[in-house]
Amino acid sequence: MRARALVLATSVLVSACAGRHAPGRSVQRIAGPLPLPPPVAVAAESTASAPPPTAPSPTVAPTVVAPVAVAPTPAVATDVGGAAPTPDGDSHAVYAPNPWVETALDPRSTFAADVDTASYTYTRRSLDGGNLPPRAAVRVEEFVNAFRYRFPAPAPGQPFAVVMDAAPSPLVARHHIVRVGVATAGKTAATRAPMNLVFLVDVSGSMDSPDKLGLARAALTAMVGELRADDTIALVTYAGWTEVVLPPTSGRERARIASAIKRLRADGSTAMGSGLALAYQQAMAARRPGVGSRVVVLSDGDANVGPTSLDEMLAIIDDGRRAGITLSTIGFGMGNYRADLMEQLGDRGDGNNFYVDSAAAATRLFTTDLVAMVELVARDVKLQVEFDPAVVARYRLLGYENRAIADDDFRVDAVDAGEVGAGHQVTALYEVQLTAAATPATPLGRVQVRHKRPEAGPASAATEASFAMKGGPADRFDTAPADLRFAVAVAAFADVLRGGEDAARWSLAEIAAVARANAGGDPARRELVAMIERARALRGEGVTTAAAVAR
């Protein structure tokens, strides 16, 4: 299936403001992007049982959809799929939902792995504030991948465990939901590789609030307790100027690192591009063999001083990626949040994109989830699902609109895809219609996973593995695995919030019932139930119980 998404073109407007700095600081002024040292050569990996690479397919120019900013207002009752209020100044890329595809015409669906979860936490923040999220803020896959599911351990010698199962849809008669998931083995703080991390912190005036720089400081402070003596940490800030607050420092110097974090204060304009260049310089200086290097940006995404275009910032990231340095972005705040920019930077940097809405989320991301965020297990991970036209009449992929890859590019190793860390899970759901030949014993298809080793460069060859679905779909929804049932509720909730045409006939009450029945004692899953009930109330659909909306 080729990409059919409508993409919002993103640009960074830069004002010609003069930078200023606080008295007494040692400041390194940057007039433009800093040069990076030459990239390190990486040996190519051999391809195992995979057809030879081919040239990339021609790229079709995307259709541009202009963003619309709407002042924040309380949510009002709307029809299913009705418009949602948008916080003033926030910016999200717009993608059209994937269409239905006739299996006889195109049995293959290809997409890049995605472990981002920013959309889910942004939506949680919106609902907590009494607003429905803007449609463009909702990414189905980021909702689904915000939760943990049960996976078997990967087979010996394989980086991934793979599941593929299906069940009748609880929402649409004669439709089924197919789940495809891959997961890597987790690592602990003791078994992970050493880290070389450079935290690039936005300390501009727009970050001067408890839910922005305050949460960023809390996140970094929580991270200090996770450090080992063989880790290296640096801290770079940017506003109207850039500054190395903490040069590359051993993880054993926790007090020094914590002191540097505590001193962070917000003031001035925003020279993000110059900050990126300086952060990558620090990461390059501290590189060591066998140690993963990553720049982590903490910002609201507002960039108004420095390199004059998004292309210049992406060029800095490209140079770093070729040198083996990845990039993660972590967003904060509402009102001027550039979700589109933060997502694009993280994707370009072979990293990931998160959004922090609370102190609890900040702590979890920088402690429990830190290893998964920073330690790569596989690069350029592509999934290709192939349905059997004899049993699947048509299908649609729920989400991954901005991750679509041309089917013919699945084995083109120069085509960029997604990165997966230690302990990460990637789950995708398809809504399908079966043919009369389908039975509970008939497999619906197979999934192929292609990836490169974490140390591989952009030109390296990939390896590939194929996994066939074992058996057919469950005969009833209530006999399907609980994880599949819960994931269906998550995806359906997201599809309703984004105004999906096919979701127009779905009931949030039904979705809440499915989520509640499969939440168990998991606090994160129970929180989703509360979010669905809160959305029901904001849409004027009523709430089943008062307790359901309590967090």
Distance between CA atoms of residues 490 and 485, nearest Å: 9
Give the pLDDT band of residue 122 (cuts 50, 70, 90): very high
Q: What share of the chain is helix, strand, coil (3-state, %, to 5)?
A: 30, 20, 50
Considering only 80-89, 188-197, 218-227, which range has the smallest mean pLDDT? 80-89
Mean pLDDT of the chain: 83
Distance between CA atoms of residues 106 and 485, nearest Å: 27
What pLDDT score does 302 carry?
A: 78
Collapse the DSSP code of 178 into the 3-class scheme (helix H, G, I; strand E, B; otherwise coil) and give the result: strand
Using the predicted structure, report yes or no on whether residue 22 has a pLDDT greater than 70. Answer: no
Using the predicted structure, report yes or no on whether residue 187 has a pLDDT greater than 60. Answer: yes
Using the predicted structure, report yes or no on whether residue 315 has a pLDDT greater than 50. Answer: yes
Q: Looking at this protein, which amino acid is placed at residue 163?
A: V
- Residues of the chain with pLDDT > 70, as a percent, come to 81
Q: Is 317 left (phi over 0), alpha (psi -120 to 50) or beta?
A: alpha
The predicted model gives 408-437 an average pLDDT of 95
The answer to whether the Cα torsion of 216, 143, 425, 457 is positive or negative is: negative
Bigger pLDDT: 4 vs 456 = 456
Extract the tokens encoding 92.
């999200």
Homologous superfamily of domain range 101-187+377-549: Gamma-adaptin ear (GAE) domain (2.60.40.1230)
Neighbours of 465 (CB within 10 A): 18
Using the predicted structure, report yes or no on whether residue 378 has a pLDDT greater than 80. Answer: yes
Alpha helices in 13-139 (DSSP H): 118-128
What pLDDT score does 28 carry?
A: 40
Task: Check if the beta carbon of residue 514 is closer than 8 Å to that of residue 489.
Answer: yes
What pLDDT score does 152 carry?
A: 94
Give the pLDDT band of residue 228 (cuts 50, 70, 90): very high
Considering only 169-183, 295-309, 349-363, 515-529, which range has the smallest mean pLDDT? 295-309
What pLDDT score does 268 carry?
A: 75
Extract the tokens encoding 128.
């907590």
Highest mean pLDDT among 45-49, 271-275, 496-500: 496-500
Using the predicted structure, report yes or no on whether residue 469 has a pLDDT greater than 70. Answer: yes
What pLDDT score does 240 carry?
A: 82
Answering whether pTM is above 0.85, one says no
The string over 205-229, giving b where at least 16 C-beta atoms fall within 10 Å of a residue's C-beta and e elsewhere, is ebbebebbbbbbbbbbbbbbebbee
pLDDT of 481-498, one tens digit each? 999 999 999 999 999 999
Identify the residue whose tokens are 């079709």: 60
Query: What does DSSP assign to residue 272?
Result: H
Extract the tokens encoding 357.
């809405």
From start to end of 108-190, where are the E strands? 108-112, 160-168, 176-184
Using the predicted structure, report yes or no on whether residue 551 has a pLDDT greater than 60. Answer: no
What pLDDT score does 433 carry?
A: 98
Identify the residue whose tokens are 């991948």: 145
Distance between CA atoms of residues 456 and 47, nearest Å: 12
Q: Which fold has domain 195-374?
A: Rossmann fold (3.40.50)
The predicted model gives 408-419 an average pLDDT of 93
Distance between CA atoms of residues 301 and 297, nearest Å: 9
Give the Å distances, CA to CA, from 524 to 115, 321, 424, 528, 551.
Answer: 17, 34, 17, 7, 10
Query: What does DSSP assign to residue 542?
Result: -
What pLDDT score does 543 carry?
A: 55
CA triplet 296, 301, 305: central angle to 5 degrees?
105
Bigger pLDDT: 450 vs 503 = 450
Identify the residue whose tokens are 């030109």: 459
Domain boundary assignment for the chain: 101-187+377-549, 195-374
Count of residues making up the chain: 551
From start to end of 14-136, where are the E strands? 101-102, 108-112
What pLDDT score does 505 carry?
A: 84
Using the predicted structure, report yes or no on whether residue 403 has a pLDDT greater than 70. Answer: yes
What pLDDT score does 79 carry?
A: 33
Q: Which helix (H) or strand (E) holds 326?
A: strand 325-332
